[in-house]
Structure 1
Amino acid sequence: MPTSSGLSLLSAVCVLLLSQGCLGQLPSGEGRQPRRQTERREWRLERLEAVEPSRRIQAEAGVIEYWDQNQEQFQLAGVAAYRTTIEPRGLLLPYYSNAPRLVYIIQGNGVSSSVFPGCPETFQSFQQSEPREEERRGESLRDQHQKIHRFREGDVIALPAGVATWFYNDGETPVVAITVADTGNNANQLDQRLRRFELAGSAQRRESTEGEEGFSGNVFRGLNVDVLAEAFGVSRETVRKLQGHDERRGNIVRVERGLQFVRPERRQEQQEEEEEEEEGRRRRTRGTNGLEEVLCNLGNRENIRNPDRADVYSREAGSVTSLNSQKLPILRQNAHYAPHWNINAHSILYVTRGRARLQISGNQGREASFDREVRRGQIVVIPQNFVVAAQAGSEGFEWVSFKTEDFPLVSPLAGKASVFRGLPEGVIANSYRITDEEARRVKHGRGEEFLVFRPRAQGGRVAAA
């Protein structure tokens, strides 16, 4: 999520250069920023649940749905999650958070930007008309701002803690995104609750299973009107608008005539995006060099739906695309995701399409306590070292997993590169009191299949079930 010894004050900036992990932040010195140790409590399988959001914040042009942070599985993993829906011409107003986040774009497309203090405002517009009085006095009124990026379905976007970000839907369909925040990261120096600091918007109605919870405002509301008027050099009336008095649109507002901002021509924009991705790949191989390269040219997004990028692919079973700590697996009808465990991370699984039978087994040596169907829109937290297996339903199964470690390691139980492939047949035979032939079948029964297994012939049982 490359280091420089002179960046110790920048630990709140995400270093997800999309070659180094997911929910981490910029390291201070030689090594990555560690996660804060959460309270050591026992993971109990019977307490795991496939859950849906419990709270909604409705706005003028969209809605944000939150999962309950107080639920035990989220607290133990040190994460929080929410789902954002932005309607066409909807603008998610600028905000920042106390924890680094990963955003996966489930559907839709649009533009967004994260504003890093001190970085150059490289997008500029030039006035073609007669210069105004202010310009003749040397006060330029042309618009200029930091770079804006396009996003599309399948993108993973890294959002650093404490950095203001906004999103705009310039497409024809709603944008839907799932966000997981690493509240256990050391970049978060507050308590382990996700906190949104709104720069704009106010008076959002919060709906939950317990009913309405009240209202919230933006960060300007707590500051004196005269202080703000002096600081910005504007009128008190303008300050009241900044503070959101009498504002009832929430934090996702509709831009009736479309959002106007400085942007290159679409062809040039696409070319720049391709060049930026290529430069990001080069930068990840050679490391970084200074503040501007780390922050101002930060490559904080990448698309993982492109089938050409699949790390594991089976025509009959499906595919797994890895972006270090983010994975987008797709299982076809009745296919299996091999039983495996995460060696060094918790996994937060969000179902994007279809449904599956999901089983999780711990160290208690009894029948799996979690053996349930999971479906679109649900989240399950899979604890570190617990074995998990999935079988897709008739319509297939697709999900995205967020890991709590920069370099997550997975250990399959069956198929290529599995634990059994590394064991001598004699060890397997004596461990389970089976014949050498049976041990050979256990070891090689899935041939060269890796992680995603095609369904076996009708009537046969699948080893990965």
Structure 2
Amino acid sequence: MATFMATFLSCVLCAHLLCHGSLAQLPMGQGQQPYPARRLWEQSECRVERLQAVEPSRRVQCEAGVMEYWDQNDEQFQCAGVAPFRTTIQPGGLLLPYFSNSPRLIYVVQGSGISGLVIPGCPETYQSFQQFHQLEERGPEQRFRDQHQRIHHFRQGDIVAEPAGMAAWFYNHGDTPVVTITVADTSSHANQLDPRLRMFQLAGQQRREPYGRQAGASGEEETSGNIFSGFDVEMLAEAFGVSRETAMKLQSRDDRRGNIVRVEMGLQVLRPEQTRSYEPVEEEKEHRRRGANGLEEAFCTARYRENIGDARRADVYNPRAGRMTTLNSQKLLILRSIQMSVERGVLHRNAHFVPHWNINAHSILYVLRGRCRLQISGPLQASARFDREVRQGQMVVIPQNFAVTALAVSTENFEWVSFKTNDNAMVSPLAGKASIFRGLPDAVIQNSYRISREEARRIKYNRGEELLLLQPTAQGVRASA
């Protein structure tokens, strides 16, 4: 009997482990453990006492654009477990298909175009049919001219999510350059390789420059081949059923165009025509009207793009202070697998981003335009750990639980986008509505700071119902001046 029970319990345990392991591989975060959501590389060595506003450390020129990379060896990016880079695609430029070892969030700073995300196992739902008489002449094998997975339009203000290991491409069909900011989460459990962003090219050759050195400064160009370059040509030809010459072209050994190439006469691909201007609010209404029926939430049909630049989508709005929009996995389901979220904000001149801290995430702030005075304070010293003016094009890492505040100081609005390392990032404000002080009794505040009861009440209520974005006061304007 004891032997039977032991065998039975062993079987139950094995079944449980097998089911758990299978569920952990499901897309969209189904079956994943809620914590820890990220792998922390060498967390004991993480030093956050030297925060800086930094710009890209290396620039790689391509035929039809530029790739600019922030230094992955920078301590603040290593601590946050992220690797950021900026991409500029000139009109008519194609960012060649690639994938990486880490999930990525992409913010479209400017421009518009089309893109594709190739998901293994999903059907090619874009199909171009030949006419019937052509079928008779050429045979049934010519039934389709082309078929491929979905193509998506993107525009300024869009967030595009790309899971780890899935190939993507971008094309600029407009008249102005497309500029995007990408933050890859190298600490995600989806990354089983190592704590560095590794880009795998499906075509072309990637130009490489050592960190801290501008492209061409060394006098020698370093390149790395695409994923086909490591295969034997004969085996590659056999695998695809093509000639040896075609297989050699797949390896792109003599291609010096870089990751972004120019498409002559435009990219001719099968895609729906745009019969009206893109309207994100109406598109969202239509998506909700169809409803989620199980199939709608499947990985193949999941939305992986959402616009957060439209003022009508603001979650927080103060006409005298600005607006802020948050995109998390409750709004865009695919962010569960990306394990990141995004915050997009606009702060009017002399307005204040309330002092707060991020409860469950690091925040990687990128300045889109304007300037602000940014202060970050941590536990090791009383004074602000970071107190500088940050400007367009700079990036700052705000560690989890560090208090941060910002004051717009330029004549134009201060605009930013923050990538959060949690798909449902939460903040805790220190002032205004929903602040920590609103939840404390007057007497606790009074005795904590050795102030009068009246002063304690002013701390709690003087900002009234303002939430996160605070309009300027006369005192604040004088301080800014």
Distance change (3 Å), C-alpha of 1:44 and 1:270: closer
Opposite residue 396 of structure 2, the aligned amino acid is: V
Q: Is the 8 A contact 1:336 1:392 kept in 2?
A: yes
Q: How much has 1:295 moved relative to structure 2?
A: 1.4
More displaced stretch, 450-459 vs 142-151? 450-459
Q: Is the 8 A contact 1:92 1:251 kept in 2?
A: yes
Q: Distance in 2 between matches of 1:32 and 1:294?
A: 24
SS in 2 for 1:219: coil
2:391 counterpart of 1:375: yes
SS in 2 for 1:156: strand
Deviations 1:268-322 (A, max 9, x none): 8969x88874565479x85x736x8421101111001111111111111111111
SS in 1 for 2:68: strand
Give the number of equivalent residue pairs: 445
Equivalent position to 1:148, from 136, 146, 151: 151
Q: Is the 8 A contact 1:184 1:192 kept in 2?
A: yes
Q: Distance in 2 between matches of 1:33 and 1:280?
A: 32
Q: Distance in 2 between matches of 1:320 and 1:207?
A: 37
Equivalent position to 1:417, from 423, 427, 434: 434
Q: How much has 1:168 moved relative to structure 2?
A: 0.4
Q: What is residue 360 of structure 1 aligned with on the other side? A: 376
Q: What is residue 231 of structure 1 aligned with on the other side? A: 239
Q: What is residue 191 of structure 2 aligned with on the other side? A: 188
Where does 1:121-160 land on structure 2 (aligned, <5 Å)? 121-128=124-131, 131=134, 135-136=138-139, 138-160=141-163
Q: Distance in 1 between matches of 2:299 and 2:477?
A: 54
What TM-score do you get using the length of structure 2 for normalisation?
0.86
Q: What is residue 209 of structure 1 aligned with on the other side? A: 212
Equivalent position to 2:259, from 251, 255, 267: 251
Q: How much has 1:58 moved relative to structure 2?
A: 1.2
Q: What is residue 438 of structure 1 aligned with on the other side? A: 455
Opposite residue 123 of structure 2, the aligned amino acid is: P
Where does 1:287-366 land on structure 2 (aligned, <5 Å)? 289=294, 293-324=297-328, 325-366=341-382
Opposite residue 422 of structure 2, the aligned amino acid is: E
Q: What is residue 88 of structure 2 aligned with on the other side? A: 85
Q: How much has 1:125 moved relative to structure 2?
A: 1.2
Q: How much has 1:264 moved relative to structure 2?
A: 1.8
Opposite residue 252 of structure 2, the aligned amino acid is: G
Q: Is the 8 A contact 1:12 1:160 kept in 2?
A: no
Q: What is residue 275 of structure 2 aligned with on the other side? A: 267
SS in 2 for 1:429: helix
Q: Distance in 2 between matches of 1:331 and 1:319?
A: 7
Q: Distance in 2 between matches of 1:55 and 1:319?
A: 33
Distance change (3 Å), C-alpha of 1:446 and 1:88: same
Q: Distance in 2 between matches of 1:438 and 1:380?
A: 34
Distance change (3 Å), C-alpha of 1:306 and 1:83: same
Opposite residue 122 of structure 1, the aligned amino acid is: T
* Greater share of residues in helix: 2
Distance change (3 Å), C-alpha of 1:57 and 1:304: same
Q: How much has 1:40 moved relative to structure 2?
A: 2.1
Q: How much has 1:432 moved relative to structure 2?
A: 0.8
Q: Distance in 1 between matches of 2:437 and 2:145?
A: 65
Q: Distance in 1 between matches of 2:414 and 2:425?
A: 22
Q: How much has 1:231 moved relative to structure 2?
A: 1.2
Q: Distance in 1 between matches of 2:430 and 2:223?
A: 49
* Two-structure CA RMSD over aligned residues (Å): 2.8
Deviations 1:437-463 (A, max 9, x none): 11111111111111111111157677x
Asked which structure has the greater RCO (Cα within 8 Å, sep 6+), the reply is 1
Q: Distance in 1 between matches of 2:21 and 2:150?
A: 23
Q: What is residue 385 of structure 1 aligned with on the other side? A: 401
Q: Is the 8 A contact 2:111 2:155 kept in 1?
A: yes
Q: Distance in 2 between matches of 1:165 and 1:10?
A: 24
Q: Is the 8 A contact 1:36 1:186 kept in 2?
A: yes
Q: Is the 8 A contact 2:135 2:142 kept in 1?
A: no
Q: What is residue 12 of structure 2 aligned with on the other side? A: none
Opposite residue 241 of structure 1, the aligned amino acid is: K
Q: Is the 8 A contact 2:71 2:211 kept in 1?
A: no
Q: What is residue 55 of structure 2 aligned with on the other side? A: 52
What TM-score do you get using the length of structure 1 for normalisation?
0.89
Opposite residue 59 of structure 1, the aligned amino acid is: C
Deviations 1:81-101 (A, max 9, x none): 000000001100100010000
Q: Distance in 1 between matches of 2:136 and 2:244?
A: 24
Q: What is residue 18 of structure 1 aligned with on the other side? A: none
**% identical equivalent positions:** 61
Q: Distance in 1 between matches of 2:54 and 2:398?
A: 13
SS in 2 for 1:125: strand
Distance change (3 Å), C-alpha of 1:129 and 1:60: farther
Q: Is the 8 A contact 2:129 2:143 kept in 1?
A: no
Q: Is the 8 A contact 2:127 2:146 kept in 1?
A: yes
Deviations 1:127-156 (A, max 9, x none): 349638994163545101111010000000
2:468 counterpart of 1:451: yes
SS in 2 for 1:438: helix
Q: Distance in 2 between matches of 1:322 and 1:224?
A: 48
Q: Distance in 1 between matches of 2:359 and 2:197?
A: 26
Q: Is the 8 A contact 1:340 1:410 kept in 2?
A: yes
Where does 1:19-98 land on structure 2 (aligned, <5 Å)? 26-28=29-31, 34-41=37-44, 44-98=47-101
Q: How much has 1:176 moved relative to structure 2?
A: 0.3
SS in 2 for 1:119: coil
Q: How much has 1:8 moved relative to structure 2?
A: 3.2
Deviations 1:299-353 (A, max 9, x none): 1110011111111111111111111221101101121101000011110111111
List gaps (5 residues or longer) in structure 2.
1-18, 329-340
Q: How much has 1:11 moved relative to structure 2?
A: 3.6
Q: Distance in 2 between matches of 1:61 and 1:133?
A: 42
Equivalent position to 1:171, from 148, 164, 174: 174
Q: How much has 1:406 moved relative to structure 2?
A: 1.8
Q: Is the 8 A contact 1:221 1:243 kept in 2?
A: yes
Equivalent position to 1:107, from 102, 110, 113: 110
